[in-house]
Amino acid sequence: MTTTSILFTHQKPHAALTKLLPKHASRDTTGTVSVRHRGSRQKRYYRTIDFRRDKLDMTAIVTTIEYDPNRNAFISLVKYQDGEYRYIISPVGIEIGTVIVSSNTPDIKTGNSLPLGNVPVGIEIHNIEIYPGQGAKIARSAGTFASVIAKEGGYAHVKLSSGEIRKISELCRATIGRVSNIEHKDEIIGKAGRIIHMGLRPVVRGTAMNPRSHPHGGGEGRSGEGMHPKTPWGKPARGVRTRNPRKGSKKLIISRRSK
């Protein structure tokens, strides 16, 4: 399945669903850099995406398939029977004119939204909620998908793209299909100026710095990182687990992601 069949509608985004995305260049309220390697970027407008799909049992027709500068997946503008417009994440295989619906018992068709308890085992899904009614949090980026591999005790066992197997309530909603723009991972940026327009600044290797600037700095010649790689703040890096072992959702993870 590829995205080569998608035809873009070359028009401005739906004005009622867009707002100016403010720039911060990763500075906090005091003006201090709080996240490194980010800077000013090209002006953007944020498209409000419907991650809840809470308009139940009302069909909608796909009117556009658009590029979104704020995410790597394509988005689609859908029009409901009552005339309301909403943006959704566009899955692979959806076309202009496709009719979709969000329901508790819809047809198993790409773009339809339903609870995990009604999703057949082995079907590709995306836009998965972690808590019922919260809105989709999992499998939203380009080309990603998950699948239900089992159901037990009111939970669906969902296998994610990372390899992690996680228990999620059967009341949480998900959308059938795989997220569009699978070829995003093969995209070539082309030049440094384009990265600057995206809001990313250059990254300097720690081994090229002075000892006072980074734990990897200093030494004669190319001395490398040493036996114990560190972050700029002296904490262990590369392979050290950072997840809080006392986090409440740990009991919902059946199998951690593969290394």
pLDDT at 199 over 80: yes
Per cent of the chain over pLDDT 90 is 90
What is the three-class DSSP state of 165? strand
What per-residue confidence (pLDDT) applies to 259?
67
pLDDT > 50? residue 5: no
pLDDT given for residue 1 in this prediction: 41
pLDDT value of residue 159: 97
pLDDT of residue 119 exceeding 90, the answer is yes
Which whole-number Å values give the CA distances from 86 to 11, 77, 131, 173, 225, in the listed order? 16, 6, 22, 17, 49
| Helix or strand holding residue 193 (H, E) | helix 192-198
Determine the topology of domain 15-183 in CATH.
OB fold (Dihydrolipoamide Acetyltransferase, E2P) (2.40.50)
pLDDT at 80 over 60: yes
CB 73 within 8 A of CB 5: no
Lowest mean pLDDT, pick from 23-32, 171-180, 250-259:
250-259
pLDDT higher than threshold 70 for residue 195: yes
Beta-carbon count within 10 A of 129 CB: 22
Q: List, for residues 201-258, the tens digit of each pLDDT value.
A: 999 999 999 999 999 999 999 999 989 999 999 999 998 888 899 999 999 999 998 7
Indicate the average pLDDT of the chain.
93
Instruction: Return the domain boundaries, the chain.
Output: 15-183
Q: Which two tokens stand for residue 96?
A: 């202009």
pLDDT band of residue 11 (cuts 50, 70, 90) is confident
In total, the chain counts a number of residues equal to 259
> 175, 53 in Cβ contact below 8 A?
yes
Please determine, for residue 30, whether its predicted confidence score (pLDDT) is greater than 70.
Answer: yes
- 3 state DSSP class of 41: coil
CA atoms within a 13 Å half-sphere pointing along the CA-CB vector of 9: 16
- Output the pLDDT for position 7: 60
Bridge partner residues of 47 (DSSP): 18
Could you give the CA distance from residue 239 to residue 150 in angstroms, rounded to a whole number? Answer: 30
Whether the Cβ atoms of residue 193 and residue 147 lie closer than 8 Å to each other: no
Q: What share of the chain is helix, strand, coil (3-state, %, to 5)?
A: 10, 30, 60
What are the tokens at 103?
């329901």
Segment 57-81 mean pLDDT: 96
Q: How high is the pLDDT of residue 2?
A: 43
Instruction: For residues 21-45, give the mean pLDDT.
Output: 94
* DSSP character string of 44-65: -EEEPB--S---BT--EEEEEE
